[in-house]
Structure 1
Amino acid sequence: MKRKSVWLLVIIFTAVLWAKGGDWFQEDIQIQGDTPRQVSNLKQISEQNIYSEFVVLAERGTGRVLMNKRGEKKIYPASLTKIMTVLVAVESISDDSREIIMTDDVFHTLTEQHASVAGFLPGERVKIRDLYYGAMLPSGAECCIRLAKYLSGNEEKFTRLMNQKAEEIGMKHTNFVNSTGLHDPQHVTTAKDLEVLLRYALKNPKFRKVFQTMQYRTGPTGKHPQGLLLRSTLTKYKNQLKPENGSFLGGKTGYTSEAGLCLASWVKIHGKEYLLVTAGARGDHQTKPLHVLDAESIYQGL
């Protein structure tokens, strides 16, 4: 009798799963919107094909969240970390036309860590502002480390500035341990905290200019007489990311095997600006760009 009861419960449980279309295990996605059409569009998109495990879509002006998929869960930010690195630098440095030397110690561990670099060389004398673009566009780790050493003497001390800024602006679940986003189990944040960071950072005119730039040539140096041409990691997706009824204003990608494919972006659609943070999409730089496909889909719902 007991065995029959167990089997009956299994059958009922299975039937409930099938009735729900197999969605019983899916995370709830919270949707808001300005109009019933927008709510319907975003809901339909979220139910069909969102590859990223973590998503936060918000209005830039008000911070109101329109889509939230596990936005308060801890994630690894990968190179989205560099948004904070550049923000701290532009807020701290008054004369960014000053030239500094790319010291040898900046490069010591980057190759073995498989870090992305902008292309600056040991001994090269570069303008500080060129390091902003090097960190943000091609995601150059050497630029982040040099800025950290310039401001604080070493990267560990610089992360204290990063964490102080995070606390100041309301990033409640964030802890930075490096300036680059290279993986560390203690280097964590959330998609919601990253949206808070980007919304705050875009208020700074210097940061905003860097974030909007897709291509930039540095000033001439002894190592690069013609300057160094820096291209955003989003350059090849520029047309794909342009919304049908608006414009793509800027973005920053991130990737580590632990973090997955990540993207923080800023768009203007129907005259209103939005911020989108996605993280945890499967794949790598050689696979289909699921983080870009998510952004493209979500923009269509606005």
Structure 2
Amino acid sequence: MQRFLRIVKWLLIMTVIIVLFFYMGSKVNIEFQKDFPFFHIEDYASQYIYVVDRETEEVIHEKNAQSKAYPASLTKIMTTILTLEHIDDLSAPAPIDTKTQRDMFANNTSMAGFAAGESVTYRDLLYGTILPSGAEAANSLAIHVAGSVENFVEMMNAKADELELDNTHFTNPEGLDHKEQYTTAADMAKLLDYALDNEDFRTVFTKETYQTTSTTAHPDGIMLASTVLSALDKGEQNDFEIIGGKSGTTEQAGENWATLGLVNNREYISIVMGAPLDDISHPNNEQIADTLKLYKNIKSGEL
């Protein structure tokens, strides 16, 4: 009987020790996360993340933010801001370049829907580049601004140097994967923050839909829609709002999103890159889930 009581006693002691261990461990972990927010338990699918408060420049969350990654169509953020800094009249004609339009079609890139040689304006091309991520629009901008894609790429890299995007390099204006075309989540956030100070860029970036001008090929114009804003459910944005964005998806890059969001009337930039992509025809959309989760966690104070 005494032996049985001793066993029960030791079992009770061990149970208390185990309970205390897990309780104290959780307390320490919580305090550790408060003091060192970058060690917050990870539950994001994206490989690379960078979230920054635009007003204070405080980095709210990061994950592999300095690691090189394929930008995919986030490249078009650079294409757009560079164009805006070199074009005075956005209503001026800027026809679709036939050769690059054909090349982009052959590479199965995302297209805005413009016809080869169609006489659209710079404004049409800018919206076509950002909203539906039109590769023919991006390359036509490059041709009109610099005379050739090659010259424009040189300008892109010069701008990257100017902005001290030290881990960024471009080989094309549309975002097709290339071993020498890379960036980081931190560099992309810096680029987007810079671009948003340009009012024309901000207008394009935050537009949900845009009707292009009437042309012979499209008498009623083309209705363009943001690949980011059209993918979001307003009901999922409780106490925050995503007001603009750019998507980018390739098989090597995975799924990327660059967004501008409002939380408590403060602007935040969120960059998520490298979300898993099992089948490009049936995307996982985990970059959307990650983006919403990040903004929710900013609101709740968990970031």
Using structure 1 for the length normalisation, give the TM-score.
Answer: 0.83
The unaligned stretches of length 5 or more in structure 2 are 1-29, 299-303
Distance across 1 between alignment mates of 2:39 and 2:264: 19
Shift of 1:92: 0.7
- Which ranges of 4 or more aligned residues in structure 1 deviate by more than 4 Å? 42-46
Q: Is the Cα contact below 8 Å between 2:208 and 2:230 reproduced in 1?
A: no
1:76 aligns with 2:77: no
RMSD: 2.0
1:1-302 equivalences under 5 Å are 47-239=41-233, 243-283=237-277, 284=280, 286-302=282-298
Rounded Cα–Cα distance in structure 2 between residues aligned with 1:177 and 1:189: 12
Which residue identity lines up with residue 193 of structure 2 in the other structure?
Answer: R
Contact persistence 1:45–1:297 (CA under 8 A) = no
Distance (whole Å) between structure 2 residues aligned to residue 206 and residue 47 of structure 1: 39
Moved more, 260-269 or 162-171: 162-171
Task: Name the aligned partner's letter for residue 165 of structure 2.
Answer: M
Unpaired runs of 5+ residues, structure 1, are 1-35
In the TM superposition, what is the alpha-carbon distance from 1:232 to its structure 2 partner? 1.1
How many residues are aligned here? 265
Q: Deviations over 1:168-198 (max 9, x none)?
A: 1121111111000001100011110000000
| CA distance in structure 2 between the partners assigned to 1:287 and 1:194 by the alignment | 22
The 1-side partners of 2:220 and 2:259 are apart by: 31
Q: 1:49 and 1:241, CA in 2 relative to 1: closer, same or farther beyond 3 A?
A: farther
SS at the partner of 2:74? helix
Does the Cα contact within 8 Å between 1:241 and 1:292 map onto a contact in 2? no
Q: CA deviation at 1:244?
A: 1.3
Query: 1:224 aligns to what SS in structure 2?
Result: coil
Please say if residues 97 and 143 of structure 2, whose CA atoms lie closer than 8 Å, have aligned partners that are also in contact.
no
Which deviations, in whole Å up to 9, do the C-alpha atoms of 1:253-297 show, x marking residues without a partner?
Answer: 101111100000010101211000010111135133100000011
SS at match of 2:252: coil
Alpha-carbon contact 1:217-1:230 (below 8 Å) kept: yes
Q: Secondary structure at the match of 1:223?
A: coil
Q: Tell me if the contact between 1:175 and 1:188 (Cα under 8 Å) persists in the aligned partners.
A: yes
Rounded Cα–Cα distance in structure 1 between residues aligned with 2:238 and 2:281:
26
Alpha-carbon offset, residue 160 of structure 1? 1.1
Cα distance change on mapping 1:152 and 1:112 into 2, 3 Å? same
TM-score for the superposition, normalised by structure 2 = 0.83
The alpha carbon displacement at 1:106 in A equals 2.2
8 Å CA contact retained: 1:214, 1:235: yes
Shift in alpha-carbon separation, 1:134–1:46, aligned structure 2, 3 A:
farther
Deviation at 1:43, TM superposition (A): 5.6
Q: Residue type of the partner of 2:132?
A: P
One-letter amino acid matched to 1:148 = A
Offset, 1:74:
0.5
Structure 2 residue matching 1:206: 3-state secondary structure: helix
Distance 2:290 2:265 in 1: 21
Tell me, yes or no, if the aligned pair for 2:262 and 2:268 is still in contact at 8 Å. yes
Identity of aligned residues (%): 34
Q: Judging changes above 3 Å, is the alpha-carbon distance between structure 1 residues 43 and 288 closer, same or farther for their aligned structure 2 residues?
A: farther
**Structure-2 change in CA distance of 1:123 and 1:272 (3 Å):** same
User: Which amino acid letter does the alignment assign opposite residue 145 of structure 1?
Assistant: N
